[in-house]
Every structure is written in C-alpha cells, then in structure tokens.
C-alpha cells in the first residue's frame, strides 16, 4: 500500500490562496519589531501564540492587522515573503499566487511602492533559487469603502507589470461583493485578473455576486456554496475553481472538526476544488499540512488527493505550455493499494 503522506509530500502543488501577511510567524514578527523599534503587546513568542484562539473571522483579523505593524521597510516585506517561499519550496510548491493587502500598509504610512518592491524581489529570487513561479494578487479590504479601493487601484496601475490580479478579502459579513462592483469593473478593464473571497462566513448569495456582479474567475473559500444546489451546478458547469483552506476553516469555526469539512462533498459534486493554507502562521499549517490533515480527516484516496493537486494547476494563472508541462507529472496513474 502506498504511503499517502509520502505521496502528498512529493506531489507538485500550487498555492492559490495564501495571504502573505498571514505567513508572518511570531519569531519573525518579534525580529522585525526589534529591528524597527516597535513594541508589541506581548512579552514573548509563546504569549503571542497563545493569543491565536479564534472563534470567528473577526477575532483573527484583529490580531492579523496588529501583526502588520512590524512591516515597515522594503527589506521587511522581502523577508516576510522569502520566509514563506522557503516553506513553500519544502512543500514542493511549484506555483504561488500570493495575496497582499496594500491598504493595511498604506494606511500606516508605508508607501505602496515599498510593499510591492519587497514582495516582488522575493518572488524573483524564488524563481532563481527554487524554480517557483510566484506572482502577486492585490486584495481590497472589504470592510473599507469602495472609494478607498478605487484609490488603491489607482496606485496599482503603475505596477501592472508586477501585480497580476485583484482580490477581495477581510470581514465578509455585511460586506457583499457587489459593494465593489465599480472598482472591479475598472480593474478588469485595466487587464487585472479578478478574484474574491466569498462563501466563507458569508452566504452562498455572496458567491453568486462574486461570479455575476464582479465577474471573478476563481472564488476564494466558497465552502458555503453547497447550501445552494443551483449554485453548485453553476460552479461545476462553468468549471469555476474554489480555493479551499481546511485548517483555516477549522481554526475560524467554519467547521467544528475536519471530519465535517465539505471538501469530499465538493469533489463528489464535480467542483474544481483546490487546497491551500490561507494564513498559515495563524492557522497552524502550510499547504502540505493542509493536504495531510484533510486527507486524514476525510480518508481521501490517493486518486482524490492527486485530483485536488491537479486542480490547482488547472486553476492557476499559467500559459498553456506551462500548464501542460506541470500536468504531465500527473499523467502517471496513481499506485494501486
């Protein structure tokens, strides 16, 4: 019988739902705080880790934005992304599309250019050092108004060569995707790929809005889509990928235990499901650990695990030649038990 953990470890993977600020490990947070003369409201790494007890998305966001305060210089943003990309390489990740939240930095007086330069330098180095194709997706914070998002888009236009897409994240409840329909229209016209978080804490209706009002090509999370059978059929028919984050869903109370996670039902409904880590420093696992945890909880077969990994490459922003080369690895049939 094949060792499923070894299979997972060696499978090539995509990471399509990673908030780079959410990969800020406590040790690096304290190191950057010391470097920048910032005092954190915790006296140790252990005390900070103990604060990672979340009952809902907002609990996490409060400490997530607090952690951002240590990110000041271009080197800080490089160090943040480089630390994550090293972890990704260890998980055999071949392609990364990382989210970043510029409004969380520009609101603190950090220049947009500083954020982009540091992250982009790390992406280039990952390509040179590891062969990882890493790109950047700028997210709008949905708890802020659309006018703020419009100003952020204006800043991003000068960096169109470095930023491949725009997304929508932060507090979902009470902030439907349609709130941002105008800025998403402008972003699409400017040539950015479009994505949005929907159907995590928000209802299935938000997934409909993300697809039909914003025109996204991928839905981030989307686990509540199963509450609407018509939506499920639409997602399956149009092959709209869902970037699912199992350990995040567990940590934030979207599911009470991983055995209740809907990923198996999503696969059974012919949805294009991918597995990702979301905010791994806060939720207890990078992408490989998410694969291992959900496989164990749902007793996924090797064929199902391979299908999920393959979905990642089908859902990624890759040209046809790159995709064909990546998928060729999966053409070897899985080992029989």
**All domains in the chain, ordered by first residue:** 4-21+74-327 (3.20.20.140)
How far separated are the first and last CA of the chain, in Å rounded? 4
Per-residue pLDDT at 2: 65
Rounded to the nearest 10°, the torsion over CA 167, 170, 175, 179 is: -30
Please give the mean pLDDT across all residues of the chain: 95
**pTM: predicted TM-score of the whole model, two decimal places:** 0.94
Give the pLDDT confidence score for residue 336 in this predicted structure: 53
Active site residue 227: no
Instruction: Give the torsion through C-alpha atoms of 254, 258, 261, 267, to 10 deg.
Output: 140
Confidence grade of residue 50 (pLDDT, cut at 50, 70, 90): confident
Give the integer Cα–Cα distance in Å for 307 and 302: 8
Q: How confident is the model at residue 56 (pLDDT cuts 50, 70, 90)?
A: confident
Contacts of 118 (CB under 8 A, 6+ apart): 73, 74, 75, 76, 77, 78, 79, 80, 81
94-132 per-position pLDDT tens digit: 999 999 999 999 999 999 999 999 999 999 999 999 999
Count Cβ atoms within 10 A of the Cβ of residue 206 and give its class: 0-12 exposed, 13-18 middle, 19 or more buried.
buried
Kindly indicate the confidence band of residue 1, based on its pLDDT and cuts at 50, 70 and 90: very low
For residues 182 and 54, the model is more confident at: 182
User: Given the structure tokens 């092959």, which residue do they identify?
Assistant: 239
Counting Cα atoms < 13 Å in the Cβ hemisphere of 164 gives 16
Measured CA to CA, the distance from residue 235 to residue 325 in angstroms comes to 26
144-202 pLDDT tens trace? 999 999 999 999 999 999 999 999 999 999 999 999 999 999 999 999 999 999 999 99
The per-residue pLDDT for 37 is 96
With 0-12 / 13-18 / 19 or more C-beta atoms within 10 angstroms meaning exposed / middle / buried, residue 189 is exposed
Candidate list 15, 25, 200, 209, residue with the active-site label? 200
pLDDT, one tens digit per residue, over 252-277 is 999 999 999 999 999 999 999 999 99
User: Percent of the chain, pLDDT > 70?
Assistant: 98
Please check the confidence at residue 332 and state whether its pLDDT lies above 80.
Answer: no
pLDDT of res. 333: 60
Confidence class for position 335, pLDDT limits 50, 70, 90 = low
User: What is residue 65's predicted lDDT score, i.e. its pLDDT?
Assistant: 85
The arithmetic mean of pLDDT across residues 17-29, rounded, is 96
């Amino acid at each position: 019988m094949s060792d499923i953990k070894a299979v997972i470890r060696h499978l090539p993977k995509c990471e399509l739902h990673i908030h780079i600020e959410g990969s800020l490990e406590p040790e690096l947070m304290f190191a950057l705080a010391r470097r920048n003369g910032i005092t954190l409201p915790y006296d140790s790494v252990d005390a900070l880790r103990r604060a990672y007890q979340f009952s809902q998305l907002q609990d996490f966001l409060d400490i997530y934005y607090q952690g951002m305060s240590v990110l000041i210089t271009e080197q800080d943003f490089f160090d943040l992304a480089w630390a994550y990309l090293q972890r990704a390489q260890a998980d055999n990740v071949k392609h990364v599309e990382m989210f970043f939240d510029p409004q969380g930095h520009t609101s603190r007086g950090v220049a947009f250019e500083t954020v982009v330069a540091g992250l982009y330098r790390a992406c280039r180095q990952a390509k040179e050092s590891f062969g990882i194709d890493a790109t950047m997706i700028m997210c709008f914070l949905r708890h802020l108004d659309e006018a703020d998002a419009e100003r952020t888009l204006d800043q991003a236009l000068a960096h169109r060569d470095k930023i491949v897409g725009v997304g929508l994240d932060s507090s979902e409840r009470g902030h439907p995707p349609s709130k941002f329909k105008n800025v998403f229209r402008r972003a699409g016209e400017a040539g950015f790929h479009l994505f949005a978080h929907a159907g995590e804490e928000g209802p299935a209706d938000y997934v409909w809005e993300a697809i039909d009002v914003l025109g996204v090509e991928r839905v981030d999370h989307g686990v509540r889509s199963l509450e609407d059978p018509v939506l499920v059929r639409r997602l399956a028919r149009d092959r709209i990928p869902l970037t699912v984050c199992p350990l995040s869903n567990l940590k934030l109370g979207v599911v009470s235990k991983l055995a209740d996670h809907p990923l198996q039902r999503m696969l059974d409904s012919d949805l294009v499901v991918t597995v990702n880590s979301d905010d791994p420093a806060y939720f207890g696992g990078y992408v490989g650990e998410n694969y291992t945890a959900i496989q164990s909880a749902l007793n996924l077969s090797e064929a199902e695990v391979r299908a999920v990994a393959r979905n990642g490459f089908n859902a990624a922003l890759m040209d046809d030649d790159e995709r064909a080369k990546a998928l060729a690895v999966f053409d070897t049939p899985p080992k029989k038990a």
